[in-house]
Amino acid sequence: MKTRDMFKPGDIISHFDMCKEEGATLQRGMNFRLHGHRSIFLMSIRKGAPYQDRVEENGKVLIYEGHDIQRSHTDKNPKTVDQPVKNPGGSLTQNGLFYEVAQKYKKSRSNPEFVRVYEKIKPGIWVYNGIFKLVDSWIESTEGRKVFKYRLELSDEQSDSQDISDLNHNRLIPTSVKLDVWKRDKGRCVKCKSPDNLHFDHILPFSKGGTSLKVENIQLLCARHNLIKRAKIE
């Protein structure tokens, strides 16, 4: 079991481990300053995902879609209603909170909001995608309604223990590549066949010319074999 603050981009975890790491039962996708501290996004780009999240610029940029009105707050299909900026009582929704802090940063009135991003790739299987800076927000008209969009850029500040030389190694791997690698490696470390404490590893690190876009350059390693390999070229 990984301890608090020990996740690194590419780590494969359960929902239980994710909740334990963050000290909360995470159910909603947007969490602004949870416990007054961390902001968290839960995302998914799987087929049938409820929101249109996407990854750009070879894993450096995440475009995250805001969330719909709660079913209890409308008698209509939430997908036909503008995404709300305020709750019925007048307080800002999660959409509104993240929108405002991004606008303040954009106008240079504050530091960027740092957001920890987790991605659901299969039922019960999540990947920690790392820490992103929230740098922009806007509202788009989509299929006759207004939706929020947020631009996040991969941060250089991933963890106190991470070497600077490893940062480029951790570009976000596309969901389709993750799923194909998971299927090919059968959800186990390619070295020892362990199904525990897995990590999506770049065979040839990004910093040494490798890519996050090809299945052939990604493999599953357990924590022990990932630590042994690190950024070495095999």
- For the segment 75-130, what is each residue's pLDDT rounded down to a tens digit? 999 999 999 999 999 999 999 999 999 999 999 888 999 999 999 999 989 999 99
- Residue 170: the pLDDT is 53
**Where a domain ends, among 138, 163, 188?**
163
- Give a yes or no: residue 2 inside a domain: no
- Tally of CB atoms within 10 A around 230: 12
Domain around 146: 12-163
Same domain flag for 153 and 186: no
Query: Tokens 């976000």 appear where?
Result: 172
Looking at residue 25, which CATH number applies to its domain? 2.30.280.10
Residue 5 lies in a domain: no
Q: pTM of the predicted model, to two decimals?
A: 0.86
> Same domain, yes or no, for 95 and 193?
no
Is there a single domain that holds both residue 103 and residue 196? no
**107 with 221, same domain?**
no
CA atoms within 13 A on the CB side of 84: 16
Q: 31 and 142 in one domain?
A: yes
Judge whether 1 lies within some domain. no
What token pair was written down for 61?
A: 């940029």
Q: What tokens appear for 44 in the block?
A: 């998914």
User: What is the pLDDT tens value at each position of the chain, 234 positions in all?
Assistant: 343 457 888 999 999 999 999 999 999 999 999 988 899 999 998 888 889 999 888 788 999 999 999 988 889 999 999 999 999 999 999 999 999 999 999 998 889 999 999 999 999 899 999 999 999 999 999 889 999 999 999 987 765 444 433 444 457 888 889 999 999 999 999 999 999 999 999 998 877 888 888 999 999 999 999 888 874 555
